[in-house]
Amino acid sequence: MRKWIKVLAVVGVLAVLLTAHTLAAQEAATTFETQGDHTQVTVELQKESMAQGVSALSANFLVQATVGELGEDDVTFQFASTLPGTVQRYVYDANTGVLSVYVAGANGALFDGVRATLGTISIAAEQEVQAQVTFGQEGTEPLTLLTGSSTQTTPSVQLTQTTLTAGETTPDPEVTPSPEITQAPEVTPSPEVTQAPEVTPSPEVTDAPEASSNPETTPAPQVSSNPETSSKPEVTSAPQNTHQGSEDQSNTQTGDSNNLVVPVVVLAVCVILLAVVVLIWNKRRNHH
């Protein structure tokens, strides 16, 4: 903690020495009390002996626009009400940017000690204007003092500057937020195209074999009323196949059909004969 206190003390001493050295090197300086579009100007001399008997002075300030433009009527100077002098006037040259202030007739009492508050520099503009005010610019004869004995003194001055702002300030354009980037929708993959199944060709329809004509059925013999046994009917031969098939399978099927017809006919004849016999036997029995 003590170490930091020592460091701060050394820094303070150096600052005082540096200020004293600057004032020693320059015989006069100006302070600006700035607020917006105006600033109050105060001149301070290094030695009180330089301020004694001063009845008039001229001070030149450089007022230049850094943003916008300034006309001759845009820069004004308002003398302080406490400033002595019967002659007070100013001139602003817009071409050179030099504001000249004159005070006279102070009867040797222009300064209060080593200080004299001259007045206020102001700028005015409808549009936004920024101006830099400089005191001590080389080539402008910043300060000239005149005593009652008509002795003219031009002390060396310290360069000081300030900035004034006037007019409506154009607001910075609002930054439009970037739109949120919407992610592209996922592309649904196209379904795979299913190949149509191959159509199985329909099998060729084979012509059905021609059916043989039905054999003619021999009518059963009539039963006579006599009880005598009728003679055995002749067995008719199997009907011949009227159509010959071109294929072996048709011939085989036709032959099998012909072979079955004969036994069926014989069986039917036997059944009929048996029925006739039974019928005759029953009739005789009934008569007895």
pLDDT, position 42: 97
- The distance of Cα 87 from the centroid of its chain, to the nearest Å, equals 69
d(CA 207, CA 116) in angstroms, rounded, equals 140
Token reading at 224: 């006579």
pLDDT, position 263: 80
- The distance of Cα 158 from the centroid of its chain, to the nearest Å, equals 57
The percent helix, strand, coil of the chain (3-state, each to 5) is: 25, 30, 45
Contact in structure between 141 and 100 (CB atoms under 8 Å): no
pLDDT, position 288: 65
Are residue 226 and residue 125 in the same domain, yes or no? Answer: no
Are residue 29 and residue 133 in the same domain, yes or no? Answer: yes
Residue 260 sits in which domain range? Answer: 216-236+253-288
Are residue 151 and residue 66 in the same domain, yes or no? Answer: yes
Are residue 227 and residue 148 in the same domain, yes or no? Answer: no
Report how many domains make up the chain.
2
Q: What is the pTM assigned to this prediction? A: 0.52
Are residue 32 and residue 151 in the same domain, yes or no? Answer: yes
Examine residue 174 and state whether it is found in any structural domain, yes or no.
no
The neighbouring-strand residues paired with 135 are 61, 160
Examine residue 173 and state whether it is found in any structural domain, yes or no.
no
Q: Residue 184 pLDDT more than 50?
A: yes
Contact in structure between 5 and 134 (CB atoms under 8 Å): no
Are residue 229 and residue 129 in the same domain, yes or no? Answer: no
Q: Judge residue 252's burial from the number of C-beta atoms within 10 Å of its C-beta, 0-12 exposed, 13-18 middle, 19 or more buried.
A: exposed
Are residue 47 and residue 142 in the same domain, yes or no? Answer: yes
pLDDT, position 135: 96
Are residue 51 and residue 119 in the same domain, yes or no? Answer: yes
Examine residue 193 and state whether it is found in any structural domain, yes or no.
no
Are residue 281 and residue 161 in the same domain, yes or no? Answer: no
Are residue 158 and residue 32 in the same domain, yes or no? Answer: yes
Read off the CATH number of the domain in which 139 is found. 2.60.40.680
d(CA 248, CA 243) in angstroms, rounded, equals 13
Q: How confident is the model at residue 131 (pLDDT cuts 50, 70, 90)?
A: very high
Are residue 138 and residue 227 in the same domain, yes or no? Answer: no
Q: Residue 186 pLDDT more than 60?
A: yes
Q: What is the mean pLDDT of residues 11-22?
A: 39
Are residue 151 and residue 265 in the same domain, yes or no? Answer: no
Examine residue 175 and state whether it is found in any structural domain, yes or no.
no
Q: What is the mean pLDDT of residues 160-177?
A: 80
pLDDT in tens, 85-120: 999 999 999 999 999 999 999 999 999 999 999 999
